[in-house]
Amino acid sequence: MTDTAPPTGTAPPTDPAPSTGLSLILGEMARQRGDALGSLADPQVQARARDLAHAARDSGRLLLLGMGASHFVNRMAEPEYRRLGLDATAMPLSEALYTPLPPGPRAALIASQSGASGEVGRYLQTPAQDERRFGLTLDPHSPLAQALPCLIGPGGAERGFAATRSLVLSVALHAAVLEALGQESGSVRAALESPDTLDLTPALDTLRSADTLVFVGRAELTGLAEVCALHAAELARVPALGFEGGQFRHGPIELLRPGLGVVLLRTGGPSADLTDTLARQCVEAGLRPVVLDCAGGEAVPGTVWLALAPGRGLAAVLNAVFPLQRLLLDFASDRVRQVGKPRHARKVTLER
């Protein structure tokens, strides 16, 4: 345990005084739903979403660029753009800088909550050629917002170290673009309005003694699994890995052993049964995996089965993200006294 701290239970602490970092994170979480709903109702966001949708439809291609949590949110939205017929690709902005895609007509969305990371600045200096560029950010005064037409979430840049409010707002801004492309957004709004009352005590009790965490998802929940691993590493300072379900089966499944914490994110569609099979394999290996079920399935014996409101696409992401935020904060608070106060990283990374 790092900087030993007492357990916090399953609800965010009401007195975050010992940790300024934690108080900032809780403050962001307190207003994330309202800000996200506000962004969906914002006429300027809707107009910019239509512009991006038209550009993507004109070329048939959409490149989604970001770093850290912004990239993982792009990964959550990527399957939804594909379902609407677009050739959508999500890649880290750093990869686009050093091993770019061949030039060609396409729309590109550069996502950065701060709009000021080092990679954003360098990418803006590269020639656009036939690429029609748009931004997604929370800071209307950032270099990204000044350089490109942007989808801008309300409330200003996020102050907390971990991406909580910025993640939820970014999902909502993608939902606005998907709505402009013809996808219904009522289920996304319903997910943002539904209270999160899930009892996480069994899940926290199961994961508390884990020395390493593995998160596994498929389709739109792959990016959520990846960002959960990011949060576990940066907040709880434990080794954490996020996998697409098929990728986990191809080798990393050898990690299964007592002492490993496994969280499976179960989406609907043809992959749901595959998640059930993996859950049984975890049980056979002596583990009790935590399963967040977004598809209304039947619990697999030997698991901690958390039944969420059934949903697909970004609605499923939102149904899962709020309990996962609480779970990871509580897990981190058991291990780190000053949760959310980084030792080596920065909120805005300026890679040199």
What pLDDT does 330 receive?
95
Q: Are residues 45 and 181 in the same domain?
A: yes
Q: Which two tokens stand for residue 13?
A: 């602490």
- 50 vs 29: CA distance, rounded Å: 28
Q: Are residues 214 and 120 in the same domain?
A: no
The answer to whether residue 307 sits within a structural domain is yes
User: Where residue 212 sits, what CATH number does that domain have?
Assistant: 3.40.50.10490
The answer to whether residue 232 sits within a structural domain is yes
Sign of CA dihedral 227, 327, 218, 278: positive
Domain count, the chain: 2
Domain boundary residue, one of 173, 193, 213: 193
Q: Are residues 33 and 161 in the same domain?
A: yes
Q: Are residues 288 and 224 in the same domain?
A: yes
What pLDDT does 8 receive?
38
Q: Are residues 55 and 186 in the same domain?
A: yes
Q: Are residues 178 and 261 in the same domain?
A: no
DSSP per residue, 89-132: EEEEHHHHHHSPPPP-SEEEEEE-SSS--HHHHHHHTS--TTEE
Q: Are residues 152 and 203 in the same domain?
A: no
Q: Which two tokens stand for residue 47?
A: 């107009």
Q: Which residues contact 151 (CB under 8 A, 6 or more apart)?
A: 45, 48, 49, 52, 134, 135, 136, 137, 173, 176, 177
- Bridge partners (DSSP) of residue 134 are 109
Q: Are residues 172 and 294 in the same domain?
A: no
The answer to whether residue 14 sits within a structural domain is no
What pLDDT does 339 receive?
81
Q: Are residues 75 and 202 in the same domain?
A: no
Q: Are residues 115 and 46 in the same domain?
A: yes
Domain range holding 230? 196-333
The answer to whether residue 34 sits within a structural domain is yes
Q: Are residues 235 and 287 in the same domain?
A: yes
- 335 vs 270: CA distance, rounded Å: 37
Phi and psi at 164, nearest 5°, equal: -115, -75
What pLDDT does 3 receive?
38
Q: Which residues of the chain have pLDDT under 50?
A: 1-19
Q: What is the pLDDT of residues 41-60, one digit of tens each?
A: 999 999 999 999 999 999 99
- Whole-prediction pTM value? 0.91
Q: Are residues 40 and 159 in the same domain?
A: yes
The answer to whether residue 225 sits within a structural domain is yes
What pLDDT does 13 receive?
41
What pLDDT does 15 receive?
42
